[in-house]
C-alpha cells in the first residue's frame, strides 16, 4: 500500500527519507532543532552534531540565544566574550564543508531572540559589506 502511494505520487517522502531509505544508515528525519548552551563544550558539541546530521542530509536549526553577547564577562578566564557571531561563522563554514553526502549543500538556520545584545550584528550576517570574518552568506537567520 505504501509503495503504491509513493509510486503514484500520491505521497512523497522528505528528501532525507528518499536518500537514506534502504541504506546502512537509515536517518530518515528532515530537520533537527537544537538550543546551544553558553559554554565551549556545548558550542563545539553542537557544531560537531550539525556536521554529523548534515552528512546524512538533515536540515539544521540552532537557537543561539543562551550564548553570551559580545563584550560579556567570562568568569573562567576573566576575559570578554566575542559574542555569538564568530561561532556562527564556524557553523556556516561547517555547513559548506559537509555537503550532505555530496547530494546537496548543507542547510542550517541560526535563531536569536530579538532581545539578545548581539541582535543588530546578527541581522547583518548575510550582508555583502563589512568584515567577512563576521559574515555568514550560506546560513539562514531568523
User: Tens of pLDDT along the chain (142 residues)?
Assistant: 888 998 999 998 888 788 778 888 777 788 899 999 999 999 999 999 999 988 887 889 999 999 999 999 999 999 999 999 999 999 999 999 997 777 778 889 999 999 999 999 999 999 999 888 889 999 999 9
CA distance 113 to 134: 19
CA distances from 75 to 29, 33, 39, 46, 72 (A): 39, 29, 11, 22, 10
3-state helix, strand, coil in the chain (%, to 5): 35, 15, 50
Say what the pLDDT of residue 21 is: 81
Say what the pLDDT of residue 58 is: 83
Say what the pLDDT of residue 108 is: 94
Query: Could you say which DSSP state residue 109 is in?
Result: E
pTM score, two decimals? 0.84
CA distance 135 to 92: 9
Q: Is residue 29 classed exposed, middle or buried when 0-12, 13-18 and 19+ CB atoms within 10 A define those classes? A: middle
Amino acid at each position: 500500500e505504501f509503495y503504491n502511494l509513493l509510486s503514484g505520487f500520491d505521497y512523497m517522502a522528505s528528501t532525507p527519507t528518499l536518500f537514506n531509505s534502504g541504506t546502512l544508515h537509515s536517518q530518515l528525519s528532515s530537520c533537527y532543532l537544537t538550543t546551544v548552551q553558553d559554554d565551549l563544550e556545548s558550542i563545539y558539541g553542537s557544531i560537531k552534531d550539525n556536521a554529523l546530521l548534515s552528512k546524512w542530509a538533515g536540515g539544521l536549526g540552532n537557537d543561539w540565544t543562551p550564548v553570551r553577547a559580545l563584550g560579556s564577562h567570562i568568569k573562567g578566564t576573566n576575559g570578554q566574550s566575542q559574542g555569538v557571531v564568530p561561532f556562527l561563522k564556524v557553523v556556516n563554514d561547517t555547513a559548506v564543508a559537509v555537503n550532505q553526502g555530496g547530494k546537496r549543500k548543507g542547510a542550517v538556520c541560526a535563531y536569536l531572540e530579538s532581545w539578545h545584545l548581539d541582535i543588530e550584528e546578527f541581522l547583518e550576517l548575510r550582508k555583502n559589506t563589512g568584515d567577512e570574518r563576521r559574515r555568514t552568506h550560506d546560513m539562514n537567520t531568523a
